[in-house]
Amino acid sequence: MRRCFRRCAASCQNPLGLPDAVFAKESPCPHIDGLCYFSSDWADMQLPSKHRFPIDKYQMVRGLLEAEDFRVLPGPLATFHEATLAHEPSYVRRILRGDATEEMRRRVGFREAPMEGYVLRTLASLGATVAAARHTLRTGIWSGATSGGTHHAFADAGEGFCVFNDIAVAARLAQQEFGVTRVLVIDLDVHQGNGTAKIFAGDSRVYTVSVHQKKGYPFSTRFPSDLEVDLPDGCDDEQFLQALQPLEALVKRQAPQLIIYQAGVDGLAGDRFGRWNLTRPGLQARNDLVYSLAAAHGIPLILTMGGGYHKDILQTVEASADAYRQEFGVGEDGNGQTVYVYDASQEINDLGVLVMRCPLTGKNVNPFTTEVWRSIHAEFVRAASLLQAGGRRRDRREKREIERERETGREGGREGGREGGREGGREAGRENITSVFKIAYCNPDLAEGCGNEWFFALNTRKPPASEKLHSQWKAVLPSTTELVSPEACCRSLWEAIVA
């Protein structure tokens, strides 16, 4: 697999002199604590002054957010490998080589842009969403890119100001790097999300929703989403918000592990490419509806900007910025003050797991809930104790006893026996295992992001590479040679958890 990737990346010649990082396996994404967004406007793409695409809106939105003390970090350039998560390698190679034909660039809408700036900006936009996805999936904290939402890009072609489909890449990344099996894409841009819908056609792990204008762009390349809602020209706030009501039942039914939200504002009255008559308060109500659903169900969420082409660019900028301002606000308290999801009470439970409770619902909005962690912890102790008691060797009698206990519901009794400690040596071993579990998995203050590293190991089924973490295992369990091996530990965990 690695050789195949290297061959594929190596075949992508680099006449534009792109940074070597573009041809690495993945773009850099440092471990970051707390709330943040990722921007792409540091990569400049020059367009004619009267070009119909408002390229300045990205920098203006970022400026507003930074002025309001939001943390907006420059995103990395996406890599060849990341782009090919959702796109044909041959198509990605053409873009990175600067071989896009005039017709390809005309179809996208950036024919006038210098090629190097065109490619860099494309990679920066995708990289910002990739960084936001990794941040959210590593930490459980919502994030977003102050760009992206490029829902018109297909696997093998771009159109409608979209070269690579960052929504699709983020969903594929969640699947492949983090083991996510249920993604919900909520696309509320005025234009139908044709590229996203086609990329995920037949993929039951990604459910696509598109609420859009019935007429207008895309004219001949529409491809149906899993849920299509066509609304007429002149659609107002009331009609639009009514059309969003089925989302609540959908979220309950689909039980997504991740929501990717495309928050285009081209439905505003006066938008040059939209045919609706939405107001800014109407769009704010739309955002609140999506965020409240995600918060109430404890679902991680990634935000992308989407479209916005108002005759007055400030209208587009303010409405777009609202989506980021509101992402962490889920309503008002009794005093009329906006309350924020991650301003909620934060506590470390008895397993060392960070619990973040929504101030309105009281539910844990950390997607890795206490119940999940307790289950993992119990299985970890069981697997580790078995290893300490004699490795993986189990005789037939022990297997029959375990199966009989599971069938007759005596697992609780076994847990009680474990907690009471029937064997002194095993009890000491369990205490050590529990200690290691807290160190390796749950401590949010652990140096060098080792907690995140083990989180990755759990979700990718690949062992962590950290020497620091390896030495921690040795220090706590010096005599348990099998558990000292990260590979063996990950294997044991997964055997226990997925059994």
Report the distance separating Cα 129 and Cα 304, nearest Å. Answer: 7
Burial class (CB in 10 A: 0-12, 13-18, 19+), 68: exposed
Same domain, yes or no: 310 and 415 = no
Of 259, 294, 327, the residue at which a domain comes to its end is 327
pLDDT of 347 reads: 57
Of 293, 327, 361, the residue at which a domain comes to its end is 327
Same domain, yes or no: 301 and 397 = no
Of 292, 309, 327, the residue at which a domain comes to its end is 327
User: Would you give the distance in Å from CA 465 to the centre of its chain?
Assistant: 23
Q: Are 124 and 42 in contact (CB under 8 A)?
A: yes
Strand ordering across the sheet containing 301-304: 72-74, 37-39, 143-145, 301-304, 258-262, 183-187, 206-213, 227-231
CB proximity list for 306: less than 8 A, separation 6 or greater: 148, 149, 151, 187, 188, 189, 262, 263, 264, 265, 266
**Helix or strand or coil: residue 229?**
strand
Report the distance separating Cα 321 and Cα 4, nearest Å. Answer: 42
Strands (DSSP E) along 36-152, which ranges?
A: 37-39, 72-74, 143-145
Which helix (DSSP H) or strand (DSSP E) does residue 387 occupy?
helix 370-390
**Helix or strand or coil: residue 192?**
coil
- Say if 357 falls within a structural domain: no
Same domain, yes or no: 268 and 401 = no
Beta bridge mates, 74: 39
Same domain, yes or no: 148 and 211 = yes
Same domain, yes or no: 117 and 191 = yes
For CA atoms 358, 363, 367, 369, give the dihedral sign: positive
User: Would you give the distance in Å from CA 53 to the centre of its chain?
Assistant: 27
Residue type, 282: G
Full-model pTM: 0.68
- Say if 92 falls within a structural domain: yes
State the DSSP code for 459.
H
Phi, psi for 292 (deg, rounded to 5): -65, -40
Same domain, yes or no: 81 and 229 = yes
pLDDT of 39 reads: 93
Same domain, yes or no: 265 and 397 = no
Catalytic residue among 135, 152, 212, 377: 152
User: What's the total number of domains in the chain?
Assistant: 2
**Helix or strand or coil: residue 259?**
strand
Active site residue 152: yes
Same domain, yes or no: 406 and 295 = no
Same domain, yes or no: 20 and 89 = yes
Report the distance separating Cα 267 and Cα 283, nearest Å. Answer: 8
Beta bridge mates, 211: 229
CB proximity list for 9: less than 8 A, separation 6 or greater: 23, 80, 81
Provide the pairing of β-strand 183-187 with 329-332.
Answer: unpaired
Between CA 93 and CA 98, with CA 95 as vertex, the angle to 5 degrees is 105
Range of the domain at 391: 370-498
pLDDT in tens, the chain (499 residues): 334 444 445 556 777 777 777 887 778 766 666 678 999 888 778 888 889 899 999 999 999 988 877 889 988 899 999 999 999 999 999 999 988 888 898 999 988 888 888 899 999 999 999 999 998 888 777 899 999 999 999 999 999 999 999 999 999 999 998 889 999 999 999 999 999 999 999 999 999 999 999 988 888 888 999 999 999 999 999 999 999 999 999 999 999 999 999 999 999 999 999 999 999 999 999 998 998 888 778 788 999 999 999 999 999 999 999 999 888 654 455 566 555 544 444 555 554 445 555 544 455 555 444 444 444 445 445 544 554 454 444 444 555 665 665 565 545 444 544 444 344 444 444 444 444 444 444 433 333 334 444 444 444 444 444 555 455 444 443 344 344 444 455 444 444 433 3
Same domain, yes or no: 49 and 111 = yes
Report the distance separating Cα 472 and Cα 474, nearest Å. Answer: 5
CATH number at residue 282: 3.40.800.20
Task: Say how many Å lie between the first and final Cα of the chain, rounded.
Answer: 27
Q: At what angle do helices 486-498 and 450-460 cross, to 10 degrees?
A: 50
Report the distance separating Cα 33 and Cα 42, nearest Å. Answer: 22
Nearest to 39 by CA among 387, 324, 295, 349: 324
Report the distance separating Cα 263 and Cα 404, nearest Å. Answer: 52
Q: Are 167 and 178 in contact (CB under 8 A)?
A: no
- DSSP string for residues in 193-221: -HHHHHHTTT-TTEEEEEEEESSSSSSS-
CB proximity list for 344: less than 8 A, separation 6 or greater: 356, 357, 358, 359, 365
State the DSSP code for 330.
E
Same domain, yes or no: 251 and 129 = yes
Provide the pairing of β-strand 206-213 with 183-187.
Answer: parallel
Between CA 128 and CA 137, with CA 132 as vertex, the angle to 5 degrees is 150
Same domain, yes or no: 299 and 392 = no
